């Protein structure tokens, strides 16, 4: 009996360690882009606007700028921000899940690594959503489907122009009829 309990505990610990080690890889998705930084950003921005479902661009941010302002040096990193009130409104109206506003707007990072290649990263909304119950799970399933459309590139089409933030800051409405924010 003691061997059985010891084996059970060892199994639980092993599974817990494996889950802990692989959790980050499941919560976020990373893929290599077939294009450079600006073209990748422009294509994602265009896809967000073309997807429908109320998606608007709410910002384009350069988180590396603060490091550079401090005299540091880092490879390029840009964050595309988009929001759909179709998806954000039900969450923001519900007290029990309003804390998830921290995940709004939806962000997609485009960055270079030391290998010289450009990468795209986003949160795995389809996996994370169900952890917060049926309301959020259903919404995040739809968000995940839309995110897939944001990241489909047709190399036979010319690159659209990159949409730059309005003068006066990096955030704010960067286009898409409806203004910035969620």
DSSP state of 55: E
**Domain for residue 129, yes or no?**
yes
Q: How far apart are CA 158 and CA 164, in angstroms?
A: 18
**pLDDT given for residue 139 in this prediction:** 94
Rounded CA-CA distance 176/84 in Å is 11
Structure tokens at 142: 């739809």
Residue whose pair of structure tokens reads 């290998």 in the numeric block:
115
This prediction has a pTM of: 0.80
Number of domains in the chain: 1
Q: Given a cut of 70, is residue 57 above it in pLDDT?
A: yes
Indicate which CATH number applies to the domain containing 72.
Answer: 3.30.310.70
**145 assigned to some structural domain:** yes
Position 134 in a domain: yes
Evaluate whether residue 5 is within a structural domain: no
Residue 178 within any structural domain of the chain:
no
Polymer length of the chain: 182
Say how far apart CA 145 and CA 100 lie, in whole Å.
Answer: 19
Residue 78 domain flag: yes
Q: Which domain holds residue 124?
A: 28-150
Average pLDDT over residues 148-166: 92
Q: Is residue 58 part of a domain?
A: yes
For the stretch 95-125, pLDDT in tens is: 999 999 998 899 999 999 999 999 999 999 8
Q: How confident is the model at residue 75 (pLDDT cuts 50, 70, 90)?
A: very high
**Residue position matching structure tokens 């898409």:** 176
Residue 82 lies in a domain: yes
Average pLDDT over residues 58-83: 93
Integer Cα distance of 178 and 182 in angstroms: 10
Residue 12: its pLDDT value, please?
A: 72
Percentage of residues in the chain having pLDDT higher than 90: 64
């Amino acid at each position: 009996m003691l061997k059985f309990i010891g084996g059970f505990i060892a199994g639980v610990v092993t599974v817990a360690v494996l889950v802990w080690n692989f959790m980050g890889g499941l919560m976020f998705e990373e893929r290599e882009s077939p294009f450079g930084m600006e073209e990748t950003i422009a294509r994602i921005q265009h896809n967000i606007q073309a997807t429908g479902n109320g998606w608007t661009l709410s910002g384009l941010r350069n988180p590396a700028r603060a490091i550079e302002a401090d005299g540091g040096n880092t490879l390029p990193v840009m964050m595309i921000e988009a929001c759909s009130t179709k998806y954000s409104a039900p969450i923001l109206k519900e007290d029990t899940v309003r804390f998830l506003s921290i995940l709004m707007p939806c962000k997609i990072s485009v960055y270079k690594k030391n290998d010289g290649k450009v990468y795209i990263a986003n949160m795995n909304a389809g996996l994370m959503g169900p952890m917060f119950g049926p309301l959020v799970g259903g919404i995040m399933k739809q968000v995940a489907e839309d995110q897939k459309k944001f990241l489909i590139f047709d190399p036979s089409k010319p690159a659209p122009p990159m949409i730059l933030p309005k003068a006066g800051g990096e955030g704010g409405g960067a286009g898409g009829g409806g203004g910035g924010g969620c």
